[in-house]
Amino acid sequence: AGRGGDVHAAWLPPEAFAPLGSRRVLVRGDGVLVDTVFDEVERACARHGGRADRTAGDRAVDLVLALRDAGPLPAAATALARAAGADGPLGGEGFALARAEGVTVVLADAPAGLLYGLFHLVRLGAAAFEGDHPVRRHAPAMALRMLDHWDNVDVHPVMGQVERGYAGGSIFWRAGAARRDLDRVRAYGRLLAACGVNAISVNNVNVHATEARLLTDRLGDVAELADALRPYGVRVHLSVTFAAPVVLGGLPTADPVDPAVRAWWAAATRRVYARIPDFGGYVVKADSEGQPGPFTYGRDHADGANLLAEALAPFGGVVHWRAFVYNHRQDWRDRSTDRARAAYDHFAPLDGRFRDNVVVQAKFGPIDFQPREPVSPVLAAMPATRLAVEFQVTQEYTGQQQHVCYLAPCWSEALTFAPWGPGGPTVADVAAGSGPGPAAGGGLAAVANVGDDPFWTGHPLAQANLYAYGRLAWDPGLDPVAVLDEWIDLTFPASTVGDPALARETLHAVMDDSWRTYERYTAPLGVGFMVSPARHHYGPDVDGYEYSRWGTYHFADRDGVGVDRTRATGTGFTGQYPPPWSQVYESLSDCPDELLLFFHHVPYGHVLRSGSTVIQHIYDTHFAGVQQVAGMRQRWRRLAGVIDPAVHARVAERLEEQLRCAIEWRDQVNTYFFRKSGVPDVRGRTIH
Ligand code: GCU
């Protein structure tokens, strides 16, 4: 079975270690993570002809990876080490890299830094051993870089083993039990460390009966996962049910102010830490889509979150309390309720009331991981609270890993958005704790996209989303195209590819703009949804949610389309933003085109900032989107015989499905709006 058996190596193929593995390497320091670094180096050297040492002798070295307090280094490395450390501490996960006189040095204060330094070297490849490198310090922007697995232990009758999972079964659980072979989990931890993720929640936020017990009598399973992930610096967190004191503890209530309830959580948490000393904490979906919460007892989310925070505090744990709270039993006739308002309405008034080990975790947009949403205003409304931004790496609403949809540009836009106006703090600053809020920051969280599929993610190119998520959590300023280059270099090392230049060019052509392509052929101008309820959000159904209870409507009629969220005539949602956005979004002429129908209901003839009418824009983008997918399919054919045939075949097969589905989207959306509006396409193309 080795490290994951026949599983695809993703961004850590053995060839990626060739530059490092052909060197004379010295690793200095102690601890589990330094052992991991040494194991990695030793394995690479065994394969590629280098030499790995843990004790400094007189032998010449090309590379030194050392903890700063690990004792004397070879002469050549000492001066560099001094220079690298001159600017003060490197932090718990940071490292410094330099090269002079033929020696590359990676220095860290703590073992995790050395691990991240090692994978940085792998990323640099041969360049790490060429010329001189001035000292460069690296540290993550976010302390918490987390993945949330929506994995169930038991197979759920509707959602299956993994809720919104598109890559097979869970890598942790199978049919009611923990998987016994943890090689796959170890291989996963390694991939996560190599992209910078350091925390993982191992079960679904919708906590069903069996999964609730992971906190108590099934804790041993969680401890095993923690053991498997620890060598890669990944901490384990658990989704818990707020009703645990009742359903597990037999108490009559889960009221957060009840002393017996507080004592129950304290004792349960103490047992968790006795078993898993570096346990990360709890993730909670409360009073959301039917999950239990403090509302039952007339308490609010601060009372609820603080209850768990109090239990975790003595051990340094955090509670991720999700802000995804809204009325999921709305009457579609009720125009006064606006789901977009919900997170702000529930949470902003509680700012200042959360304990400092509470992280309020808000989806990046106000609705639900749509391909295009404005940034959630709650992220600018809680300056006294640690906030985490939640993304969805799993492609629930972005093609379900059947479609190529490289999401880093979407996340990058959200992270670099400046809620208080251009030049001000960004969303990334808020999450990192370098904005107006508490210095600790809540970091990033994202719903994971891997399963037991041999390619990890179903669609092999969806691996890039997982990689890019980790990299953006480490450094939200990275350019998504540059991150894709990193991923290409690692995943398709030149030595394994027939024509590396063609492979790179094709992957960029297929992936760079794929998120915007997906946006073009699906719901227009930020209006969202129009997805099939029957098929779990896959494929088009323009009115699929229009008369539902979910609060996700487009309000198309014969005259126009869109949701009026203005203060002047609509739901007032625009007022949840600070200026200038409260004005920009309110104004029909200033509102960005891509969000127009999120904020305004307009006639089909309304002229966009682009100069096109809304109806013509709908037709044009849907024809263009399909054409782009056809182009992607065409280009991909050129890689046959150039890259790994299994990867090529899997992607080729999915591009067929993407094209079929994009055509279906185009024709349903165009026909729908033609029938509603009666306005023909000025270019006279076929609308059915
Ligand atoms: C979406 C998704 C659900 C999930 C929910 C959540 O609505 O469809 O499966 O439970 O988000 O984020 O909690």
Same domain, yes or no, for 130 and 175? Answer: no
Same domain, yes or no, for 129 and 151? Answer: no
| Residue 474 or residue 6, greater confidence | 474
How far apart, in whole angstroms, are the C-alpha atoms of residue 67 and residue 285? 40
Domain final residue, candidates 428, 462, 480: 480
Q: What is the CATH number of the domain that holds 62?
A: 3.30.379.10
Decide if 234 contacts 201 (C-beta within 8 A): no
pLDDT at 5: 53
Residue 345 annotated as catalytic:
no
Distances (CA, A) of 609 to 446, 519, 524, 545: 33, 18, 15, 29
Residue 396 annotated as catalytic:
yes
- Give the 3-state DSSP-derived string for 174-213, with helices as H, strands as E and coil as C: ECCEECCCCHHHHHHHHHHHHHCCCEEECCCCCCCHHHHH
Domain final residue, candidates 138, 168, 202: 138
Same domain, yes or no, for 101 and 183? Answer: no
Please give the average per-residue pLDDT across 58-75, as a whole number: 91
For the cut 80, the answer to whether the pLDDT of residue 327 exceeds it is yes
- 507 assigned to some structural domain: no
How far apart, in whole angstroms, are the C-alpha atoms of residue 501 and residue 503? 5
For the cut 80, the answer to whether the pLDDT of residue 74 exceeds it is yes
Q: Which of 30, 69, 132, 289 is catalytic?
A: 289
Protein residue with least CA distance to atom 12, ligand 1: 324
CA angle 621, 623, 629 (to 5 degrees): 95
- 590 assigned to some structural domain: no
pLDDT in tens, 239-250: 999 999 999 999
pLDDT at 656: 98
| Ligand 1 pocket mutation pick from 159, 204, 324 by most atoms within 8 angstroms of CB | 324
Q: What is the CATH number of the domain that holds 227?
A: 3.20.20.80
Q: How many angstroms is it from 538 CA to the middle of ligand 1?
A: 14
Atom of ligand 1 nearest to the CA of 285: 13
The end-to-end CA distance of the chain, in Å, is 53
Same domain, yes or no, for 548 and 649? Answer: yes
pLDDT at 3: 40
- Domain span at 402: 145-480
- 433 assigned to some structural domain: yes
Q: How many angstroms is it from 205 CA to the middle of ligand 1?
A: 8
Q: Which of 15, 338, 396, 489 is catalytic?
A: 396
| Ligand 1 pocket mutation pick from 322, 339, 368 by most atoms within 8 angstroms of CB | 368
What confidence category does residue 360 fall into, taking pLDDT thresholds of 50, 70 and 90? very high
Same domain, yes or no, for 180 and 320? Answer: yes
Decide if 457 contacts 449 (C-beta within 8 A): yes
pLDDT-above-70 percentage for the chain: 99
- 363 assigned to some structural domain: yes
- The chain-wide mean pLDDT, for the chain, equals 96
Helix or strand (DSSP H, E) at 590: none
Same domain, yes or no, for 522 and 667? Answer: yes
- 105 assigned to some structural domain: yes
Protein residue with least CA distance to atom 10, ligand 1: 206
- 534 assigned to some structural domain: yes
Kindly write down the DSSP assignment for every residue of 292-328, as one continuous string: --GGGGT--HHHHHHHHHHHHGGGT-EEEEE-----T
Provide the residue type at 483 as one letter.
V
Same domain, yes or no, for 284 and 403? Answer: yes
- 9 assigned to some structural domain: no
Residue among 31, 42, 35, 77 at smallest CA distance from 56: 77
Q: How many angstroms is it from 334 CA to the middle of ligand 1?
A: 23
Same domain, yes or no, for 198 and 346? Answer: yes
pTM: 0.98
pLDDT-above-90 percentage for the chain: 94
Complex ipTM > 0.95: yes
Same domain, yes or no, for 291 and 417? Answer: yes
Same domain, yes or no, for 82 and 31? Answer: yes
How far apart, in whole angstroms, are the C-alpha atoms of residue 339 and residue 81? 54
**594 SS3 class:** helix
For the cut 60, the answer to whether the pLDDT of residue 4 exceeds it is no
Residue 263 has φ and ψ, to the nearest 5°, of: -65, -35
Q: How many angstroms is it from 566 CA to the middle of ligand 1?
A: 27
Domain final residue, candidates 480, 501, 534: 480
- 448 assigned to some structural domain: yes
Q: What is the CATH number of the domain that holds 545?
A: 3.90.1330.10
Same domain, yes or no, for 129 and 89? Answer: yes
Q: How many angstroms is it from 164 CA to the middle of ligand 1?
A: 8
Same domain, yes or no, for 305 and 365? Answer: yes
Number of domains in the chain: 3
pLDDT in tens, 185-241: 999 999 999 999 999 999 999 999 999 999 999 999 999 999 999 999 999 999 999
Binding-site residues, ligand 1, Cβ < 6 A: 163-164, 205-206, 285, 289, 324, 368, 396
pLDDT in tens, 633-682: 999 999 999 999 999 999 999 999 999 999 999 999 999 999 999 999 99
Q: Which of 368, 390, 429, 586 is catalytic?
A: 368
Residue 255 annotated as catalytic:
no
Per-residue burial over 27-40, b if 16 or more Cβ lie within 10 Å, else e, is bbbeeebbebbbeb
